[in-house]
């Protein structure tokens, strides 16, 4: 089965392809479509609101089943800080590129003593047709709390700038230095696969 993933981010596209290929889903990205992309405001209060805006807009444009995944970044135990939420890249009032995004959150961590505890909450919207929309937001497809640090890892992947300053809470290691898939990665992969298996009537391929 072929699904359109509502993203132009090559890193996100490759990641989702590897997650959904084992259950028989061929994921294509927006860059593979031959129409102009519609404008999407992405002004929702929750990640799932933005995911819905994108998936509906892309379905209306291309007329094929499409899903979108959106994230919100939240500071944990920091009630006095203005939460990025769904405005991760637009937190400063501009649409930050990878370098600007990295520099900004390094400064937030530095101002907090060198690290700050955060969590990504993910929302997912799948539009099968005009009358069939499936959505989910919650812990299952989200990330467990971790730290952002003001010191960058030597590894940098375009599209995922904050991964270079992401540190596991328990071990204090950069995620890039942890070998193999973490239990958190496996949990999220399983939850994403289960969402599509359930809502598309797929056989559960193990």
pLDDT digits (tens, 9 = 90+) for 118-152: 999 999 999 999 899 999 999 899 999 999 999 99
Give the chain's mean pLDDT. 94
pLDDT digits (tens, 9 = 90+) for 76-89: 999 889 999 999 99
Domains in the chain with CATH codes: 2-200 (3.90.950.10)
Q: Report the 3 state secondary structure along the chain.
A: CEEEECCCCHHHHHHHHHHHHHHCCEEEEHHHCCCCCCCCCCCCCCHHHHHHHHHHHHHHHHCCCEEEEEEEEEECCCCCCCCCECCCCCCCCCCCCHHHHHHHHHHHHHHCCCEEEEEEEEEEEEEEECCEEEEEECHHHCCCCEEEECCCCCCCCCCCHHHHHEECCCCCCEHHHCCCCCHHHHHHHHHHHHHHHHHHCCCCCC
């Amino acid at each position: 089965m072929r699904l359109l993933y509502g993203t132009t981010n090559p890193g996100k596209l490759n990641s989702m392809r590897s997650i959904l290929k084992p259950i028989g889903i061929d994921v294509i990205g927006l860059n593979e479509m031959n129409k102009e992309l519609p404008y999407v405001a992405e002004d929702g209060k929750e990640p799932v609101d933005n995911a819905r805006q994108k998936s509906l807009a892309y379905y209306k444009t291309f007329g094929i089943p499409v899903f979108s995944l959106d994230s919100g970044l939240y500071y944990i135990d920091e009630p006095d800080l203005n939460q990025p939420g769904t405005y991760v890249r637009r937190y400063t009032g501009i649409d930050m590129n990878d370098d600007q995004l990295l520099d900004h959150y390094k400064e937030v961590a530095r101002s907090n003593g060198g690290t700050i505890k955060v969590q990504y909450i993910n929302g997912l919207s799948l539009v099968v047709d005009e009358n069939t929309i499936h959505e989910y937001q919650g812990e299952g497809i989200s990330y467990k709390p971790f730290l952002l640090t003001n010191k960058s890892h030597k590894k940098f992947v375009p599209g995922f700038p904050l991964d270079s300053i992401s540190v596991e809470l328990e071990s204090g290691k950069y995620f890039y230095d942890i070998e193999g898939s973490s239990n958190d990665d496996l949990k999220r992969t399983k939850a994403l696969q289960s969402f599509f298996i359930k809502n598309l009537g797929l056989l559960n391929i193990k």
